[in-house]
Copies of this chain bind each other. A is one copy, B any other.
Amino acid sequence: MGYSSKLVEQAVEALSMLPGVGKKTALRLALFLVEQDEDQVKSFSEAVWKMRSEILHCTTCHNLSDTVQCAVCLDERRNRQLICVVESFKDVMAIEETGQFNGVYHVLGGVISPIEGVGPEQLNIDTLIHRVKDQSEEPPELIMAISPTIEGETTIFYLSKQLKDLSVKISTIARGVSFGGELEYADELTLGRSIIARIPYEK
């Protein structure tokens, strides 16, 4: 590029690391930032760095958290007998958005994928087993909210084997045709399974 400022060039380089931001967009963003008040750019840059440097992972469920334990785990009203097992903190956000779940979470940090070199030991599985064992009250229920891919299914299978001697109920989230989705566009597997797993109609 033909601009002669090393400072701008370095900022463009930095901004183009963002997903979906190429060199042209990065330049547009940099030139926007260079025109803003110094205070504003300072808080911009600080907010990003503060987030990355101060964010913690909840010691109980491994969710992103500002504190040692995350807001969900600290919430007294949550049902601790109901543990939703997810792949990443993004899934926690997605499920929290629905407002339909009042249990707690366990973030695995990925799924078992031999191709990508991710084995069970890289995931937060030990802590999950400890959590299940530590339950003094009635046996907990684990809801597997994991992507229905081969890796996801493998992970659920592995977890169920690890947990089979413990007193625990395991379920997976319902698969089916999505609300507002048209039947003709649903893939065969989903459509097929949603017929097998049909639900009695409530009048």
Contact = CB atoms under 8 A, between A and B. Distances in A.
A5 B47 contact: no
A169 B54 CA distance: 59
Given A34-B64, A55-B8, A2 B44 contact: no
Interface size range of chain A in the complex: 35 or more
B14 A90 contact: no
Interface stretch (A65-73, A116-124, A129-137, A177-185): A65-73
- What is the oligomeric copy number? 2
Given A48-B44, A71-B4, A99-B2, A18 B29 contact: yes
Interface string A53-92: 1110000000011100011100000000000000001100
Interface of A: 1-8, 10-11, 13-15, 17-20, 25, 28-34, 36, 38, 40-55, 64-66, 70-72, 89-90, 93, 96-97, 99
Given A41-B52, A44-B48, 8 more contacts: A4-B65, A4-B71, A5-B64, A5-B71, A17-B40, A33-B52, A36-B52, A45-B45
